[in-house]
Amino acid sequence: MEFFDKIGKMAIGSRLRMLSEIVTEDASKIYNLYGIDFHPKWFPVYYVLAEGKANTITSIAKEIGHSHPSVSKIISEMVKAGLVLEKSETTDGRRNVVSLSAKGNEVTLKIQDQYTDLNSAIEDMLGQTTHNLWKALAEWEFLLEQKSLLKRVTEQQKLRERSNVTIVDFESMYLDAFVNLNTEWISHYFKMEESDYKALNNAEEYILNNGGYILVALYKGEPLGVCALIKYPTDDFDFELAKMAVSPKAQGKNIGGLLGAAVIDKAKSLGAKKLYLESNTILKPAINLYHKLGFVKIPERPTPYERCNIQMELVL
Amino acid sequence: MEFFDKIGKMAIGSRLRMLSEIVTEDASKIYNLYGIDFHPKWFPVYYVLAEGKANTITSIAKEIGHSHPSVSKIISEMVKAGLVLEKSETTDGRRNVVSLSAKGNEVTLKIQDQYTDLNSAIEDMLGQTTHNLWKALAEWEFLLEQKSLLKRVTEQQKLRERSNVTIVDFESMYLDAFVNLNTEWISHYFKMEESDYKALNNAEEYILNNGGYILVALYKGEPLGVCALIKYPTDDFDFELAKMAVSPKAQGKNIGGLLGAAVIDKAKSLGAKKLYLESNTILKPAINLYHKLGFVKIPERPTPYERCNIQMELVL
DNA sequence: TACTTTTACGTAACTAATTACGTAATTAAT
DNA sequence: ATTAATTACGTAATTAGTTACGTAAAAGTA
């Protein structure tokens, strides 16, 4: 089993399966040892019947956490072995009411000792270990019920990706990225307009020297996201959030979200009270993001952009 | 999963299987999350190939602890998916030499992140538990390799049965048992002889009042085994171990062994140096037991019993 | 050199579970 | 009183492994 140490936690499923196989294989031999004609897989069903708790296929399935076809098969095997009786003598004709036969009840007597011995053998093993497998299993079942492994991995993924992204202030070395990333999406969804050329071709003069800012998202050092904070010409707003662009190859890494949050932080630190933005409703993920960031739709107001069909604001 | 708490350790196999199922089901979704077209069950094989360690079906199987048909199937699936290449261009025409294809190597790049994230997710879970599942699994694998569950249960069984057996000195209330148990096996394998009647019908007089002893094995209070220690008439031996009988319904509980050991102890405590016994070689389990107790075959000597064809002694 | 044993590995059949699906009985809703 | 939805459960197909078996190549042996 040393293989598992190298392979890491990736194969915990395989590892559990293998141990389960080793254990159940021996379980089968153990029944033999006690002279009981019994398959280990019957045990959960048998146990429920011996307790006299549930007595229809579905209720047993629910009790033991199996699917009903599984119980159905086990019951038919146990019927064949003479351990279980089926009867439909209830008011509900769909139900298959089952119970232990006389022979099935005999097993109960025989199985007592085995139960005791297996229990002590396992207790003995648990006593020899420093890490209690039984309790560890219960803890894992609990944790996985609270939050699935899938969700946990997704969270780790987000966490890791976030650490790959750093948001930095604009420098002239990022000018190309600022222009290209914006040109790319604008000409993909719409067409470049007069105001686009103005803002992109003279970014430093038009945005930065005018009291505005540009933030750049670096993904593993590469500038793959940009966003501008342009000083708003009137008193209605402090800044306009504009020219936000994220490279398609960095999509799904929440770079937009990080960039947006950073831009808002920046505005806040500058004492801004109100942000403005313009967009188009066909850009669903963008609108969604703005929403998440706290922007709300406002009534139509004049804009130099042809593609603009929605305007939003964020009160800080 | 509360079912398992009631059912006890009996279903540890089921419990392991269920957890394994939950985990591997999510594993499949996790590959999806990272855009990798990959079945979780391929992973162990893939890992070995990526490490460049083993490259034939059997060697991979050995490495990962699967059967070779399992690896064979996985390889053919991975070949179909274009991740693995097969070639028989070796000197040994039986071997199927496999390796990752270019596409297979691409997976290595994609899988890195997933590997990291899954590892951290699991480490995170392990950190949240007080009982470390990972280490507990390793401990169980180790313990079961040392001694199988079957063997452990067998030992517990022996231990428990021993506690059900008590060896007591003869009392007149056990006379019936002494007579019946002996009559039963003697007339089953042979026929009752003159000396049998003498010893059984006048046990108290013939054995006890003659410096001999009778010990009784009580199984859960019931006298199911007897054994006599008869004063030997000459100086050759101190006692003859005779009239040992165990009820067929208590067979396999090592009552003979316990009884034998107790009788020898008794003889020792009486200062005896040499014990004698007579038997017949068709009684294999008995001869076997005498052997285990330390008796060795001795040359033929006169005996009143027709059925006797072997004689043994034990030097204390 | 010829014969036997071992090794490598594929195919087939089995196992213990699952999902998917169909059918009949019951219950709820119009 | 119909009709629709739900429930109970069996059968079939699928899954991820196993053992059993057969065949061909290689290695060992007389």
Q: What is the pLDDT of residues A203-262, one digit of tens each?
A: 888 999 999 999 999 998 999 999 999 999 999 999 999 999 999 988 878 899 999 999
Q: In terms of residue numbers, what domain contains A286? A: 161-315
Mean residue pLDDT of chain A comes to 87
B97 touches strand C (CB under 7 A): yes
In chain A, which residues have their Cβ closer than 8 Å to the Cβ of B131? 131-133, 135-136, 139
In a domain, A306, yes or no: yes
Count contacts between A and B (CB, < 8 Å). Answer: 237
Diameter of chain B by CA atoms? 94
Q: Which nucleotide is nearest to A90 (CA to C1')?
A: C25
Judge if A177 and A266 occupy the same domain.
yes
Judge if B178 and B307 occupy the same domain.
yes
What SS3 class is residue A253?
coil
pLDDT at residue B1, rounded to an integer: 46
Residue in this structure with the two tokens 């094995």, named with its chain if needed: B217
pLDDT at residue A8, rounded to an integer: 66
Confidence of residue A32 (pLDDT cuts 50, 70, 90): confident
User: Against a cut of 0.95, is the pTM above it?
Assistant: no
- A4 pLDDT above the threshold of 70: no
Judge if B169 and B245 occupy the same domain.
yes
User: What's the distance, CA B293 to chain centroid?
Assistant: 22
Q: What is the pLDDT along chain B (316 residues), one digit of tens a residue?
A: 455 566 667 778 878 888 888 888 788 788 877 878 888 888 888 888 888 776 888 888 888 888 889 989 888 888 888 888 887 666 777 778 888 888 888 888 878 888 888 888 888 988 999 988 888 888 888 888 888 888 898 888 888 888 889 999 999 999 999 999 999 999 999 999 988 998 898 888 889 999 999 999 999 889 999 999 999 999 999 999 999 999 998 887 889 999 999 999 999 999 999 999 999 999 999 999 999 999 999 999 999 898 999 999 999 8
Task: Provide the β-strand partners of residue A277.
Answer: A312
Judge if B255 and B124 occupy the same domain.
no
Segment 78-97 of chain A within 8 Å of chain B by CB? none
Last residue of a domain, one of A81, A114, A132: A132
User: What's the distance, CA B93 to chain centroid?
Assistant: 43
In chain A, which residues have their Cβ closer than 8 Å to the Cβ of B117? 153, 156-157, 160
pLDDT at residue A90, rounded to an integer: 66
**What CATH code is carried by the domain that includes residue A53?**
1.10.10.10
Region of residue B261 (left: phi > 0; alpha: psi -120 to 50; beta: else): alpha
Distance CA B242, CA B300 (A): 17
In a domain, A16, yes or no: no
Nucleic strand C contacts from chain A, 58-87, CB < 7 Å: 65-67, 69-70, 73-74
Of B20, B30, B159, Cβ closest to residue A16: B20
Judge if B100 and B179 occupy the same domain.
no
Closest-CA residue in chain B for A122?
B9
CA of A134 to C1' of D18 (A): 26
In a domain, B38, yes or no: yes
Segment 92-131 of chain B within 8 Å of chain A by CB? 113-125, 128-131
- Cβ of B13 and A29 within 8 Å? no
Judge if B273 and B212 occupy the same domain.
yes
Judge if B51 and B122 occupy the same domain.
yes
pLDDT at residue A89, rounded to an integer: 58
Task: Give Cα separations from B270 to B229, B238, B264 (angstroms).
Answer: 11, 10, 10
pLDDT at residue A15, rounded to an integer: 81
Judge if A100 and A190 occupy the same domain.
no
Distance CA B131, CA B127 (A): 9
- A145 pLDDT above the threshold of 90: no
In a domain, A289, yes or no: yes
Residue in this structure with the two tokens 């299993």, named with its chain if needed: A137
pLDDT at residue A39, rounded to an integer: 83
pLDDT at residue A63, rounded to an integer: 81
pLDDT at residue B89, rounded to an integer: 60
Please give the residue that has the higher pLDDT: either A117 or A10.
A117
**Would you give the DSSP letter of residue B160?**
H
B94 touches strand C (CB under 7 A): yes
**What CATH code is carried by the domain that includes residue A259?**
3.40.630.30
Burial state string for B14-23 with b = 16 or more CB within 10 A and e = fewer than 16: bbbbbbbebb
The answer to whether the CB of B184 falls within 8 A of the CB of B245 is yes
In a domain, A144, yes or no: no
Segment 26-55 of chain B within 8 Å of chain A by CB? 26-27, 29-30, 33-34, 40-41, 43-44, 47
What's the structural domain count of chain A? Answer: 2
* A65–chain B nearest CA distance, Å: 8
- Cβ of A125 and B143 within 8 Å? yes
